[in-house]
Structure 1
Amino acid sequence: IFHATVSLAKNFNLIGGKLLAGDGTKLRAQNSKKNNFTHAKIERHIAYIDQKLDEYSTILAQQDGDITLGQKAEIQQRIEKHQQHKNRYQGFKKHMDQTGQVQVSTSDPDSRQLITRNNITEVAYNIQATVDAKHNLPIDFKVTNQNDSKAMGGMLRRAKTILGNADFTAVYDKGYHTGTEFNYADKLGVQVMVAIPEVASHAPDLAFDVEKFTYNKSLDQYQCPQGQTLITNGKWYFKKHGKTTNRIKHYKTKACLTCPAFERCTKNKAGRLIERTEHADLIDQNRKRIEQNRETYRKRQAIVEHPFGIIKRQWDFYYIMTKKSIKHASADVGLIFTAFNLRRIFN
């Protein structure tokens, strides 16, 4: 039904198809934090149960002749209860090991504990939406249980299918700034502008931050603010960042050790090391697009936050009503987005 509203909007020429904005919003699932388990939480529960089982076993061994049959039966019941709970948690652990999942939710099995705002977590779904700029009409949505970092490429592919071409620009916030997703967008032929995250670490003197080093693509080398050349041995290294593993090259120079600006540039005793990922060219291109089209990028929030604001704040749709799976949650969200689009089209 939702896709029918998008087709209707296209027939009425309400979809511009030139500028899209994407974002995600969290909707609480019908699953409490109490009924959501991670490896760490399971281990804590099992450790507590083992401690209680040891205590009960000690009581039975040391006071065998000093406790009544009723007390002994009560302790045995507690032992059985704790053992049942332990078996349950071990079942969760086994399921996670077999499936590779990092969480288990018992009420709504597909829901996950996600960061919603200010490092506050909720057991929720993450609703990815793509909104057309012409009339702030959503053209696509997808209910997920992941964060934003790996969502952009898939949503762009769907948008390309919906519009029938890749002749559009898509804008996203910094949560989508991932090298592999830039690569996905590039292969699709879609131009994106993604907000640039703050630098993770700085040089002792900001004048020697990595942005101050000039990269020469044809020579595959960097020049530092002091005029020295950092070269690579051409070897690719693998660096893990969260769940993602990236290929990177190392760039350095022996001139660091005798450089008068050494202490201003790095704390590494071996000298300054620059890491460049395999997707660095695409990341640099994104930075240039942002710098050259700041006014276009500033429209992002007004475009994509419009439907989210109405759906959540005006209509009070903060949570998923069903508690079965992503498929059922998608039906809930689909009805809401259908209602939103119909109202916008009629207006």
Structure 2
Amino acid sequence: MAYKKGSDRRQRVLFPDCIDEYVEADAPVRLFDAFVDRLKMDELGFIRSTPAETGTPGYNPRDLLKLYIYGYFYQVRSSRKLARECKCNVEVMWLLGKLSPDFRTISDFRKDNKEAITKVYKEFNKFCMGLKLFSKSYISIDGSKFKAVNAKDNNLTLSKLDDRIKRLDEHISIYMEELDAYDHEEGRKLSKDEIQRKLDVCKERKERYEGYRNQLEESGESQISLTDTDSRLMKANEGFCVGYNVQTAVDAESHMIAGFQVTNNPTDHGQITNVASEIKADYDVPVLETTADKGYECPEDHADALANGIIPNVIQRDGGCTEQVQFDYNEATITDEQKASTKPEDLKACLEAGVIPDVYEGILTDAQTAEVKEFATDVVDSAVLKMTPEQMRAKALEGYFVRDAERNLVYCPQGEILRQKSIKRNGMIRYCNKLACKKCKCKCTAQRFKEVDFNKDTLIKATEAKRKQLKEENKDKPKPPRTKVVKKVVRYVLHLDQNKMDNRKCLSEHPFGTMKRTLGQYYFLLKGFAKVSAEMGLFCLSYNLRRAISLRGVLALVAALR
């Protein structure tokens, strides 16, 4: 039996086929076309949304936006690949009316309209809310790491800079010795000019690294990225990567992404209020319930969320269904109107006065006021504030960990510099230097590495051996007085919804899995918060388009747009 035969490529057709016949009636590309045609491009802020009266005609921003939505929906993100699709893809020919802009025009459109592109994602969400696709019952918040346009070698931390500067100092010393001894020895492998050239390179590199270190110490940042300055080194599932921690909020019923926020915070602590506040405004609801995993455990953030009309159902590390939240006590007379209100200012006033608002009845219970005692700065710390860095290092060599609060570093008993590693849940700041501890045989602390914790008011700590020595020397001396500070607080018991917490993984994991694995959107092509947010908007838009099509179908969505 013979095979099916196609048409002859050289055969001429008297009446060409209509290009519309090549695109199926329920093709997603028809939804892209109808959705973009409905947008008010000038209100969204697109450049050249109104054509100029003179000059060479430009491309309609609607056509370029349609091209990008099509590209991100079908995993074609590169401007060069999109330019190729315009010439060989029938659906793109239909979408753009056979226009074929070059890659530079396509790339510049995304770069110049970053804020407007982010708004397009919100416009589609508004359209879906009009169709009641969003249930607005509660949302699930989660974060995931997306790689940035920045290699690990182009990301420098303070500890890495300290180590590189130290090694460069050693190289410079060696080259200086070789130059001094050059005239007295023969048969050397390198010439004098080559040694001088290597020495100049080391000095230039050291000067550059010292500039980066000074910049970080002045700004208070812990690291710097040279390619994408807004990206940060953070831990991901596959190890460490330089990227962004993207927060998404997923609607409980439709599983559509209700909102997102691009951050460079390596952890999820303290993100619930920031993410949910914007969703609450979009949903236009008095109180919004959220759920999140253990990584969002932050009592201060949960208190802020409740004060803003957001109920945080965060999974507890002990597996319980209750959590204690605390507010600074502010004595005030609460009226019935304030108690019944859902305005953030009224909610905060009630919670700080120890009164449970009506909207939180059954959710918050057991309001109790208590006094919290804190100690002021130790007397011994005052002398450290007057020390120079050299004096601090000399003091550390006596058997102390000395903290330079201005530069945010610690000198260890061996004279090495410990940099900030993290801030613990109890507020203690942890300092360490793994590179220096690899070759150090001293047992300054019980930990494997020289990890030492300081609170914000402590500037000096003795090692275990030094502490025993001081205790023996000062056993007959009276202890210096410590000033107590008493603060009044009000505490509540927050009752968490177990069903919502159990359903969290079913909501948050699927969108990230679809974007990263199915669509290949696990990395960004653009740099900087504004551009990365625009690209993330296209990621979320492509996902929500798929969900809307799955829920209603292309034909129903197109009919609703027209």
Correspondence for 1:333: 536
Matches within 5 A, 1:284-303: 284-285=493-494, 288-289=495-496, 293-303=497-507
Correspondence for 1:104: 224
Q: Percent identity?
A: 25
Judging changes above 3 Å, is the alpha-carbon distance between structure 1 residues 92 and 339 closer, same or farther for their aligned structure 2 residues? same
Deviation at 1:64, TM superposition (A): 2.6
**1:13 is the counterpart of 2:151:** no
Correspondence for 1:156: 276
| 1:244-295 deviation line (CA, Å, top 9, x unaligned) | 989xxxxxxxxxxxxxxxxxxxxxxxxxxxxxx998945x41xx32xxx322
Correspondence for 2:109: none
Judging changes above 3 Å, is the alpha-carbon distance between structure 1 residues 43 and 177 closer, same or farther for their aligned structure 2 residues? same
Deviation at 1:167, TM superposition (A): 2.5
Deviation at 1:198, TM superposition (A): 4.9
**In 2, Cα distance between the equivalents of 1:217 and 1:132?**
31
Give the AA of the match of 1:158: E
Deviation at 1:67, TM superposition (A): 5.2
Residue 148 of structure 1 aligns to a residue whose secondary structure is: coil
Correspondence for 1:57: 176
Q: CA RMSD in A?
A: 2.7
Residue 149 of structure 1 aligns to a residue whose secondary structure is: coil
Is the CA contact (8 Å cut-off) linking 2:313 and 2:500 kept in structure 1? no
Correspondence for 1:178: 298
Matching residue within 298, 302, 318 for 2:522: 318
| 1:174-224 deviation line (CA, Å, top 9, x unaligned) | 11110111111111121110011259xxxxxxxxxxxxxxxx97585xxxx
Matching residue within 428, 437, 443 for 1:241: 428
Q: Which has the larger radius of gyration?
A: 2
Correspondence for 2:250: 131
**In 2, Cα distance between the equivalents of 1:326 and 1:39?**
23
Bigger RCO of structures 1 and 2 (CA < 8 A, at least 6 apart): 1
Residue 131 of structure 1 aligns to a residue whose secondary structure is: strand
Residue 343 of structure 1 aligns to a residue whose secondary structure is: helix
Deviation at 1:242, TM superposition (A): 4.4
Is the CA contact (8 Å cut-off) linking 1:30 and 1:321 kept in structure 2? yes
| 1:8-28 deviation line (CA, Å, top 9, x unaligned) | 110000111111100001011
TM-score, structure 2 normalization: 0.47
Judging changes above 3 Å, is the alpha-carbon distance between structure 1 residues 280 and 326 closer, same or farther for their aligned structure 2 residues? farther
Is the CA contact (8 Å cut-off) linking 1:179 and 1:280 kept in structure 2? no
**In 1, Cα distance between the equivalents of 2:220 and 2:258?**
32
Judging changes above 3 Å, is the alpha-carbon distance between structure 1 residues 116 and 100 closer, same or farther for their aligned structure 2 residues? same
**In 1, Cα distance between the equivalents of 2:173 and 2:196?**
12
Deviation at 1:125, TM superposition (A): 0.6
Matching residue within 308, 316, 319 for 1:196: 316
Give the AA of the match of 1:109: T
**1:346 is the counterpart of 2:549:** yes
TM-score, structure 1 normalization: 0.75
**In 2, Cα distance between the equivalents of 1:242 and 1:298?**
33
Deviation at 1:343, TM superposition (A): 1.9
Judging changes above 3 Å, is the alpha-carbon distance between structure 1 residues 236 and 68 closer, same or farther for their aligned structure 2 residues? same
Matching residue within 85, 91, 94 for 2:205: 85
Correspondence for 2:191: 71
Correspondence for 1:203: none
**1:145 is the counterpart of 2:264:** yes
**In 2, Cα distance between the equivalents of 1:219 and 1:179?**
17
**In 2, Cα distance between the equivalents of 1:176 and 1:58?**
55
